[in-house]
Amino acid sequence: MSKPAAAVSKQAPRENPQAWIIILVLVVLAYLAIHFLFHGSGGGGGGGPTPELIYPKSFVELSSNWTCTYASDYTSFDGSVKNTSNQNDLGYVKLRATLLMSDGTMANSETGYVDSDVVAMGQASTFHIMVSNPGGVAKKCQLTVEDASFTK
């Protein structure tokens, strides 16, 4: 008589739960990489045009009749600015007053603020800036808007 055949049992291969987690993480990372590649990381819009930046100082208009008065050791810049915005008040309006030599090279420069802390929409403010001019060597004046901020 022959011996009964030994029962051969095979166990099903054991699944590794950590491997599924790793695969899932890799799929999510691949999705995010593709998403940010085509849509960028910015929220809302997904590839639309970049909004134009608006700088507060672009709403500051220098009056055309500002003056530059020379004295022996200093020069006085006086005039006014206007807030041309119809939506925002402006604060901390900063001007740069520059003295130039007759050949156009800079002799000296100072910054100063307009007299009003806040320039309301459509309103104006005066300014007075003193720049040192030892010996009165500077012969030309230049005035620019350097900075401003929105107040609301």
On whether residue 108 sits in a domain, the answer given is: yes
On whether residue 66 sits in a domain, the answer given is: yes
C-alpha to C-alpha distance for 18 and 138, rounded to whole angstroms: 78
Nearest to 149 by CA among 95, 82, 94, 91: 91
Ranges of residues in the chain with a pLDDT under 70 are: 1-17, 39-48, 152
Q: How many domains does the chain have?
A: 1
On whether residue 21 sits in a domain, the answer given is: no
Nearest to 108 by CA among 80, 127, 136: 136
Q: What is the CATH number of the domain that holds 73?
A: 2.70.50.60
Task: Report pLDDT digits (tens) over 105-135.
Answer: 999 999 999 999 999 999 999 999 999 998 8
End-to-end CA distance of the chain: 102
On whether residue 96 sits in a domain, the answer given is: yes
On whether residue 4 sits in a domain, the answer given is: no
C-alpha to C-alpha distance for 32 and 34, rounded to whole angstroms: 5
For residue 121, what pLDDT is reported?
A: 96
User: pTM (2 decimals)?
Assistant: 0.66
On whether residue 67 sits in a domain, the answer given is: yes
**Sequential DSSP letters for 121-137:** TT-EEEEEEEEE-GGG-
Instruction: Give the domain extent around 97.
Output: 58-150
